[in-house]
Structure 1
Amino acid sequence: MNAEERVLKAINHEEPDKIPAWESAFTNNTITKHYGLKPDKGDYGLSLLKYLPFRNVLMNYFLKKKNIQKAGYQHSHELFRRIGLDMQISIASLFPRKILKGAKGFIDEYGRIMKFEYYEKDGTPILGYYGGYFESFEDYESWEPLDPHWEARINSFRAGRQVQKEMNDEIFSVPATGSLMECTWEGFGIETFSRIITKNKQAKKVFDDRGEFTLEIVKILAEEDAKLIVLWDDYGFKNGLFMSPNNYRKYIFPWLKKICDAAHKRDCRILLHSDG
C-alpha cells in the first residue's frame, strides 16, 4: 500500500496497512541534518531579491514558476519521506505579496505581517506572525482580492504531485489553503478584528470573501484530481475561541458545509486543521 492509499483509507474509516503519520509544520535544522539533508535557508528566496528594484514584481513572477516550486518540494517531501511520514503539503494560498524592508519577512496575500526568526543554536528558520496589515475595514477593501485562478496555485499543486510520482508514491503530496477564521483575523490583528466583528455588514463581507475564495480553490484543485485538501483554520487559543460560538455558526460553518459538499461531489476529502 502506498502513502496516498494509506492516508485515504484512514480518512474513509477503512483499515490501512499501518496508521499513517503526518506533521503539519516541521522546522528543525538539527533533525534535517540527522536525516542527511542540507537545511534550506527558509526565507522563500526573498533575500536574493532584497536589493533589486521591482522586487515584488519579480517575486510574483518566480512564485508562478512550477520548476522553482518543485525544487522546494523535492527537499521538504524528501525529508518527510526519510523520517517515515506519509504526507506532505503543497501550498495553494498564503503566498507572499509584499517583501518587508531588508527582506526580513513579508506581508502575505491575506494581509498578515510575517517575519523570519532564527534559533541561535542551529540557525533553524521560523516564520512568525507579527500582526495585521489592515488597520480598518477600508484598508481591507483597498487590498487586491485573492484570485483563486492565479496560476501559482495550480502550479504548486502540480509541482507537489510531480514530486510524489518521482518518489514512487512513498509520500502523499496534498494541497493546503488558508480558510475562513485564522487568516481573516490575522490580516486585521485581534483588536481591529474585534471591532469588525461588531459590525454585521463588514463581518459578513470579509467572511464571505474568504468563503468564496476557499470554495473556488477547493473546486479547482478537486477538478484537477486532488483527493484530499487541507484547510488551515485555527479557531482559538488554548483558553478559548477567537469569537462567540454563535458567530462561528453564523459566518464559518455554513461555508465549511458548502466547501465539503463541493469537495465530496468531486471525489475529494477535506482535512480541517482547527487549533482551539
Structure 2
Amino acid sequence: MSSNSWATIMATLRFSSLRLGPVRLTYFGMIRSIYNYVYKFHHTHCGNYLIPSVYLSTCMNSWERVVKAMEISTPDRVPLYEMHIPPVIASRILRKPTSSILVHNPEAVFTLMMENGLSLDKINEYMAEELLTLHRVTGLDWIRVVSAYTRRPEILKKIDEHVWVVDGRRCKWSGFSLWDIDEPISYNPDVIIEFCRSSTVEVDSKIFEVLRHLVRKVKGEFFLSFDADGSWGPIVSNPNLLKHVLIWMYKRPDAVKALIEFNVKYALDVGKWAIDEGADAIQMCVDYGNKLGPWFSPKMFREFIKPALKRQCDTFKRKGAFTVLHSDGNITSILPDIVDAGIDAYQGIDVTAGMSLKQVKEEYGDKICLVGNVDPRILEFGKPEDVMMEVERCLREGGFSGYILSASANISVNTNADNFLLMIDYAKKRGVYAQR
C-alpha cells in the first residue's frame, strides 16, 4: 500500500472530513478500522464475489478474460466457450421455435429462402444478432463466428424429410449437420492431382458478413474466432474421400500432398482475411482421430499434416491472431507434434474418447491453453449434481491459468438445455479464481 493510502487512512481516523466528527478508538478499534478501509478500497466486486485486488486489478470483460487464458495467465474467473450450441438448446435459451433458429440450422435457412424470400443480407444480420444474443444471455465469453451465406442456390427444394436438393446435389440434415449424400463413391488420385495443381479457389468476401457485423458491435468486448483449416478438416468432412486418402498415404502420397496443399492455400487466404476483418483467433477444426485414436500414425502425421498445420499456425500468428485447434477423438499419440507445430490452444480434449484433461494439463499446460472437457454425456443425461461435480472436476484439473471451460469436443447433438445452462451458471460461480 502506498504512503498516500496510509495518510488518507490516518486523516480519516483523526479528522471529520466525512462529517463523522472526531474519532476516538482503542488500539484494536483502530486496527479494525484500518482493515475495513483497506478491504473496502482495495477489493473489487466481480459477479457476486468480493475479490482482493492482489488477485486482479479490475473485473475483466469477456475479451480480456479469454486473452488472459490464451496467454497462459490467470483471469478473474474461468472463461466460458461453446463452439456449437445446437438449435434445440438455442431455441430454449432464446424462447423461440427451433425452426426459427438460424445458426447451425441450414434447414431453417433453406425454408426462409424458399418461403419468405428473405434477402441474404437480412439472413446474415439475423445470424449475427442471434449469436450475440445467445452469448449475452448465457454469459459465454467467446463467440465462434459462423461463415455467412454468400448466395442463393439456383436449385433448392425439399424432396424428403430432412433431405434437400441444393444446386443438383442431395444434402441430408442429420445429427444437426448437413451431409452431402451425393458425394462420389470413388476418387481417382490422378484426377485429384490435376485438379489441385491447375485450379484456384478465390475467397468470397461475403463469407465474412456475420464477422463484420459482430466486429462493428462487440470487438474488444467478446472474443471472436473464425474457422479456417486445410490440414485435414476438408478431408475428414467427406467420408468417402477420407477412406481414399488413408489408403493414398501409403500408395499415392503425391495425391495426398497435392490435396492438402490445395486446401491449405485456401485456408490461409480465409484465415488472413478474417484476421484483417477483426477476428481474434482462427479455429482449425480438424478431427484428427476418433475414439480408437488418430486416423494415421505419428510418422504419417509428421510427413503429411504437421507441415501444413505449422504453416497455418505461423501465418495466422504473424498476423496477430491466436491459433486454436479443435479435434475430436483420442489424439494423445500425436499431441506432442501438434503442440510443436505452434498452436496456442487445444479445444476438445475428448473425454468420450478417453482423453484426460489432467494428463494433458500436466504435460502441456505451460505451453498451450486448454479448452474443454466437460463430458457431453453428463450434460445430456446427468442429474444437476452430476453436472456440478463434472464442472468441479474440470476447474480442478484445468487449473488457474491457461484454461477455458467448455464441453468436451462439442454438444452439437445434445438437447438438454437445463444442464447446459447449469454448467455455465455453476462455472461462473465456482470459477472465480480468488475464491478457490
- Relative to the length of structure 2, the TM-score reads 0.50
Where do 1:180-199 residues align within 5 Å? 180-187=231-238, 189=240, 190-197=242-249, 198-199=251-252
1:4 is the counterpart of 2:55: no
1:158 is the counterpart of 2:212: yes
Displacement of 1:81 in angstroms is: 2.1
Return closer, same or farther for 1:218/1:176 CA change in 2, 3 Å cut-off.
same
Deviation digits for residues 85-127 of structure 1 (CA, Å, limit 9, x no counterpart): 111222349989977752745699xxx9752148xxxxxxx22
1:243 is the counterpart of 2:300: no
SS at match of 1:116: strand
Letter in 2 for 1:46: F
SS at match of 1:102: strand
Letter in 2 for 1:136: Y
Letter in 1 for 2:124: Q
The answer (yes or no) to whether the contact 1:231–1:273 under 8 Å persists in 2 is: yes
Distance 2:324 2:126 in 1: 25
1:115 is the counterpart of 2:172: yes
Aligned mate of 2:111, from 17, 22, 47? 47
SS at match of 1:45: helix
Residue of structure 1 in register with 2:255 after alignment: 202
The answer (yes or no) to whether the contact 1:70–1:159 under 8 Å persists in 2 is: yes
Displacement of 1:172 in angstroms is: 2.9
Aligned mate of 1:127, from 174, 177, 187? 177
1:90 is the counterpart of 2:145: yes
Distance 1:77 1:185 in 2: 29
User: Identity of counterpart residues, as a percentage?
Assistant: 21
The answer (yes or no) to whether the contact 2:203–2:266 under 8 Å persists in 1 is: no
Deviation digits for residues 208-241 of structure 1 (CA, Å, limit 9, x no counterpart): 1111111222222223342211111110101121
Residue of structure 1 in register with 2:224 after alignment: 173
Letter in 2 for 1:193: V
The answer (yes or no) to whether the contact 1:93–1:176 under 8 Å persists in 2 is: no
Displacement of 1:148 in angstroms is: 5.0
Residue of structure 1 in register with 2:8 after alignment: none
Return closer, same or farther for 1:97/1:252 CA change in 2, 3 Å cut-off.
farther
Residue of structure 2 in register with 1:122 after alignment: none
Displacement of 1:181 in angstroms is: 1.2
Return closer, same or farther for 1:264/1:3 CA change in 2, 3 Å cut-off.
same
The answer (yes or no) to whether the contact 1:231–1:272 under 8 Å persists in 2 is: yes
Displacement of 1:271 in angstroms is: 0.8
Distance 1:139 1:132 in 2: 18
The answer (yes or no) to whether the contact 2:149–2:207 under 8 Å persists in 1 is: no
SS at match of 2:237: helix
Residue of structure 1 in register with 2:429 after alignment: none
1:136 is the counterpart of 2:192: no
SS at match of 1:175: strand
Distance 1:145 1:97 in 2: 24
Residue of structure 1 in register with 2:81 after alignment: 22
Return closer, same or farther for 1:70/1:146 CA change in 2, 3 Å cut-off.
farther
- Relative to the length of structure 1, the TM-score reads 0.75
Task: List gaps (5 residues or longer) in structure 1.
Answer: 52-57, 119-125
1:102 is the counterpart of 2:158: yes
Residue of structure 1 in register with 2:319 after alignment: 266
Aligned length: 254
SS at match of 1:173: strand
The answer (yes or no) to whether the contact 1:22–1:86 under 8 Å persists in 2 is: yes
Distance 1:105 1:140 in 2: 32
Distance 1:214 1:163 in 2: 26
Task: List gaps (5 residues or longer) in structure 2.
Answer: 1-59, 330-436
1:79 is the counterpart of 2:134: yes
Return closer, same or farther for 1:142/1:180 CA change in 2, 3 Å cut-off.
same
The answer (yes or no) to whether the contact 1:132–1:186 under 8 Å persists in 2 is: no
Letter in 1 for 2:214: G
Displacement of 1:194 in angstroms is: 3.1
Q: Please identify, of 129-138 and 262-271, the stretch whose mean Cα deviation from structure 2 is larger.
A: 129-138
Residue of structure 1 in register with 2:271 after alignment: 218
Return closer, same or farther for 1:267/1:178 CA change in 2, 3 Å cut-off.
closer
The answer (yes or no) to whether the contact 2:233–2:285 under 8 Å persists in 1 is: yes
Displacement of 1:157 in angstroms is: 2.0
Cα RMSD of the aligned pairs, angstroms, is: 3.7
